[in-house]
């Protein structure tokens, strides 16, 4: 319900139901996020705006020294700075104490009741979800971990209308080396990877849009150093994947003429992600690859 009972809310005025949540481990196991997903009874009854700040426009990676802002229930709009990454913290609950890893540490910018606030950059790119705090610091879950845990995307992006004028598309080159797939838009990078590192060039499986605009989402390249695996998408498949090479292009949220869905598959034995356009005859389970998620609509030429 909104507002909550402690803020004078009426239990009869329910705006949604709990759809899923991330259970917490109180046995000293590792927790990454404290989050839940509510399915609204009437999406038109709420707005996507953050208190006095406006609508979140995207997500970005947190960085030390970054100025951030949040709009919260108790302290309203406050600003702070990121002072730590990959932190391990212990948070007390009524059921016990939970250990969290890979947390964002911020200067003190919250009070009890602010939990659940989105931590954003000044240009309203989400970086984290406020989860805990003390008199000295505020703690946030990385927003990419929240999306991964709940298997959701940013609602404001998913509801965006198709672009009225499409940007030009660019070729995406695919290379393969043993048990890893590599995608790039750069001809020079393609040639270097093939010549110097011995990767096999496979061709141009799809095209991405070349510039950012409404209705498109970033396709970033990530890398897992221990597994030797590249992955792609707006957010990484897991927190252990680090950004490598940044954005290689953009995919559409909605299907446009001449586009198909780009699907991600994962081979657990090989520890390899690959990207396959939906027009290719490729089924989940084929060659040991299992479908994991949709990345967005891409062009075929």
**DSSP annotation string for 206-231:** EEEESS--TTEEEEEEEEETTTTEEE
Inform me whether the pLDDT recorded for 165 exceeds 60: no
Of the listed ranges 43-52, 86-95, 282-291, the least confidently predicted one is 43-52
| pLDDT of the residue at 40 | 82
Distance, CA of 202 to CA of 210 (rounded, Å) = 21
| pLDDT of the residue at 158 | 44
Confidence of residue 154 (pLDDT cuts 50, 70, 90): low
How much is the average pLDDT of 91-114? 94
| pLDDT of the residue at 8 | 79
| pLDDT of the residue at 124 | 84
Return the higher-pLDDT residue of 59 and 130: 130
Tell me the range of 49-58, 108-117, 252-261 where mean pLDDT is highest. 108-117
Q: What is the pLDDT of residues 202-217, one digit of tens each?
A: 999 999 999 877 778 8
Average pLDDT, the chain: 86
pTM of this structure: 0.54
Q: Are strands 67-72 and 118-121 parallel, antiparallel or unpaired?
A: antiparallel
> What is the percent of the chain with per-residue pLDDT over 90, rounded to a whole number?
47
| pLDDT of the residue at 108 | 95
Domains of the chain with CATH codes: 5-158 (2.40.10.10), 169-299 (no CATH)
How much is the average pLDDT of 71-94? 92
Q: Are 60 and 106 in contact (CB under 8 A)?
A: no
- Residue 8, strand partner residues: none
Inform me whether the pLDDT recorded for 265 exceeds 60: yes
Inform me whether the pLDDT recorded for 159 exceeds 60: no
How much is the average pLDDT of 158-186? 78
Tell me the range of 83-97, 152-166, 201-215 where mean pLDDT is highest. 83-97
Confidence of residue 298 (pLDDT cuts 50, 70, 90): very high
State the DSSP code for 166: P
Distance, CA of 66 to CA of 142 (rounded, Å) = 14
Burial label for 176, CB within 10 Å (0-12, 13-18, 19+), is middle
Greatest Cα pair distance in the chain: 67
> What is the percent of the chain with per-residue pLDDT over 70, rounded to a whole number?
93
| pLDDT of the residue at 132 | 95
Confidence of residue 167 (pLDDT cuts 50, 70, 90): low
Q: What is the pLDDT of residues 17-49, one digit of tens each?
A: 888 888 999 998 999 999 998 888 887 777 777
How much is the average pLDDT of 244-262? 87
How much is the average pLDDT of 211-231? 87
| pLDDT of the residue at 216 | 80
Helix (H) / strand (E) containing 143: helix 143-150
């Amino acid at each position: 319900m909104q507002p909550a009972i402690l803020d004078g809310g009426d239990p009869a005025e329910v705006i949604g139901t709990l759809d899923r949540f991330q259970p917490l481990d109180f046995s000293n196991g590792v927790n990454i996020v404290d989050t839940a997903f509510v399915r609204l009874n009437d999406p038109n009854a709420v707005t996507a705006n953050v208190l006095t700040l406006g609508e979140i426009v995207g997500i970005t990676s947190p960085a030390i020294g970054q100025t951030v802002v949040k709009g919260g229930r108790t302290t309203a709009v406050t600003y702070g700075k990121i002072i730590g990454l990959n932190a391990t913290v212990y948070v007390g609950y009524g059921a016990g104490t939970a250990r969290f890893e890979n947390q964002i540490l911020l200067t003190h910018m919250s009070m009890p009741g602010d939990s659940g606030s989105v931590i954003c950059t000044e240009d309203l790119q989400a970086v984290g979800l406020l989860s805990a705090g003390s008199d000295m610091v505020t703690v946030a879950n990385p927003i990419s971990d929240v999306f991964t845990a709940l298997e959701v995307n940013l609602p404001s992006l998913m509801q965006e209308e198709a672009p009225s004028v499409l940007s030009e598309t660019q070729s995406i080159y695919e290379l393969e080396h043993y048990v890893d797939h590599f995608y790039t838009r750069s001809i020079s990078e393609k040639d270097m990877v093939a010549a110097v590192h011995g990767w096999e060039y496979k061709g141009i499986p799809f095209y991405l849009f070349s510039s950012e605009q409404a209705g498109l989402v970033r396709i970033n390249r990530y890398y897992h150093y221990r597994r030797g695996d590249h992955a792609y998408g707006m957010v990484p498949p897991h927190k252990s994947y680090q950004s490598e090479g940044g954005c290689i292009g953009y995919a559409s949220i909605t299907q446009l003429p001449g586009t198909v869905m780009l699907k991600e598959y994962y081979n657990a034995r090989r520890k390899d992600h690959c990207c396959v356009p939906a027009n290719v005859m490729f089924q989940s389970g084929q060659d040991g690859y299992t479908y994991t998620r949709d990345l967005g609509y891409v062009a075929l030429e």
